[in-house]
Structure 1
């Protein structure tokens, strides 16, 4: 695996501009389903593209309602008319028109958090006229059930310089996923400008390095992608079939916490036609249906805290039979760090080395069963100020300085706290827990 290239320096963190209040806790069913759509809506100013976005964008907005989660690209100068004609309750705020914004937006029936926009480090020609890149939204399907949703628009064109820039874009995205979505279920969708058939593209790198699958490859082509260097599988411009290859792609993977499966792929072009039969964009809209099943052993809580630091998830690092033994907390004015050592297994550590360390070693038959967290503001950022863990024997371990803004996570019957999820830097910015069976 290639060495990470320090993509974190290129990140801009932004709170999502949502149109609904935070949801009440929803108990996670053992399974569920949802669908997604990716669509480059060709929203460049009139005269800069081949479509008529002033007419088409409101019509596109009216057609998005049936889809649970939608990623759009080139949502530039007609963004207001798109949202005015759409009723999804959770939507990202625009980053601006052409030359100012990246054109990437997400519309969802599910709430999301930790929204980030990241600009490409490399571009060529007219691609550099607007800050193209990718975004990440952590979508909450149910209590403790999250999917990292990436929206992508890479460097276009196919000359040597453009191909090199696009390969660099794909490498930057791959590095970012490895650094920020480790242990998480992931969906990547958008205008990748790549083809499996094109010799100069490296879409296979993105899949291989991140364990991603392509529903088009699996469901339409029987699991075999087109050969690199072969003729392009060009779509019929009027009525494309699912067999042709497009640059707009949906890629995905599950996690230790949630098994994610693509059950249907469709080029939904027929749902996005004008009354005169013309397409609403110069790209086709692509739909994928997903089903998911929660792991029978591991479960997770929701999160509490702010969208800062780097994300972590201990689910991948737990031993086959989780056996927590020693919990260590570091804190003073706030919660600086958390650490949990398993019998014969790893020590899971997050945060910094500040504050005072205190530890609790569990007795045989004793388990961590709940944690009360408090949060507050420091230097304009929301952070975890304190944590207080309780065992099923009534013992507690606390660190930090409590505030009045609190949340408690309690392990379901027959389970124990065995690891952590969240975000951290020198301190703990956001925290959740992973539950494992008591054995």
Structure 2
């Protein structure tokens, strides 16, 4: 009889242990802002597949531009993937570099959209601001332009982008992630 109770107890414990994992796998939820700019120029791009469920840390952001924004690049540090990077746009314009210090992150990105003609909107100006206060900017604010601050709430950081680009940055929105990584 004792053997029956021991086997029953072992069966109950093994079922409850299987139903309640001791360590849950963390997931890294991405949030998407609206995108601004032209919907018809350039080719679509999206950093979401790179970001996936990995915790990539943005270590550097660059902007290229002159009269308009030519490109934006994100550089990452990842234990599992080395140091991947993404660039959206072309190689023209002046290079502006923002190195993020340990613990700093991209707080927001401002974009201003202007028109080159009917159905031909582009990103004319962009400013990347870090939580520590440092910032870079490229392009020129040209009236009439429509400016938008792509900003997550205080608990999230900008980690990548999506939109359209070719030789210039035509349309841009951002992906954000919780500062806690969840």
Q: CA offset at residue 345 of structure 1?
A: 3.3
Structure 2 partner of 1:314: 47
* Partner SS, residue 316 of structure 1: helix
Give the distance between the partners of 1:336 and 1:436, measured in 2 at CA: 25
Q: Could you say which structure has the greater relative contact order, defined with CA pairs below 8 angstroms and 6 or more residues apart?
A: 2
Write out aligned runs for 1:359-374 (5 A): 359-374=97-112
Structure 1 partner of 2:160: 419
2:173 to 432, 435, 439: 432
1:398 to 137, 151, 154: 137
Quote the RMSD (CA, aligned, Å). Answer: 1.6
Give the distance between the partners of 1:379 and 1:345, measured in 2 at CA: 39
Write out aligned runs for 1:80-159 (5 A): none
Structure 2 partner of 1:323: 57
Q: Which runs of 5+ in 1 are unaligned?
A: 1-294
Q: CA offset at residue 296 of structure 1?
A: 5.8
More strand by share: 2
Structure 2 partner of 1:387: 126
Give the distance between the partners of 2:175 and 2:34, measured in 1 at CA: 10
Give the distance between the partners of 1:318 and 1:345, measured in 2 at CA: 13
Partner deviation per Cα, 1:308-363 (whole Å, 9 max, x = no partner): 21111100012611200010100000000000000133101101111111111000
User: Measured at CA, do residues 379 and 352 of structure 1 come closer, stay the same or move farther in structure 2, by a change above 3 Å?
Assistant: farther
Give the distance between the partners of 1:412 and 1:346, measured in 2 at CA: 26
Give the distance between the partners of 1:405 and 1:299, measured in 2 at CA: 23
Q: CA offset at residue 379 of structure 1?
A: 5.0
The answer to whether the 8 Å contact 2:28/2:55 transfers is no
* Corresponding residue pairs, total: 145
User: Measured at CA, do residues 317 and 413 of structure 1 come closer, stay the same or move farther in structure 2, by a change above 3 Å?
Assistant: same
Q: Which runs of 5+ in 2 are unaligned?
A: 1-26
* Partner SS, residue 158 of structure 2: strand
1:297 to 15, 18, 29: 29
Structure 2 partner of 1:61: none
- Deviation above 2 Å: which 4+ runs of structure 1? none
Give the distance between the partners of 2:28 and 2:135, measured in 1 at CA: 28
The answer to whether the 8 Å contact 1:322/1:436 transfers is no
Give the distance between the partners of 2:130 and 2:42, measured in 1 at CA: 28
Write out aligned runs for 1:44-59 (5 A): none
Give the distance between the partners of 1:374 and 1:367, measured in 2 at CA: 22
Q: Normalized against structure 1, the TM-score is what? A: 0.32
Write out aligned runs for 1:190-339 (5 A): 297-307=29-39, 308-318=41-51, 320-339=54-73
Q: Normalized against structure 2, the TM-score is what? A: 0.75
Give the distance between the partners of 1:317 and 1:297, measured in 2 at CA: 13
Give the distance between the partners of 1:429 and 1:402, measured in 2 at CA: 15
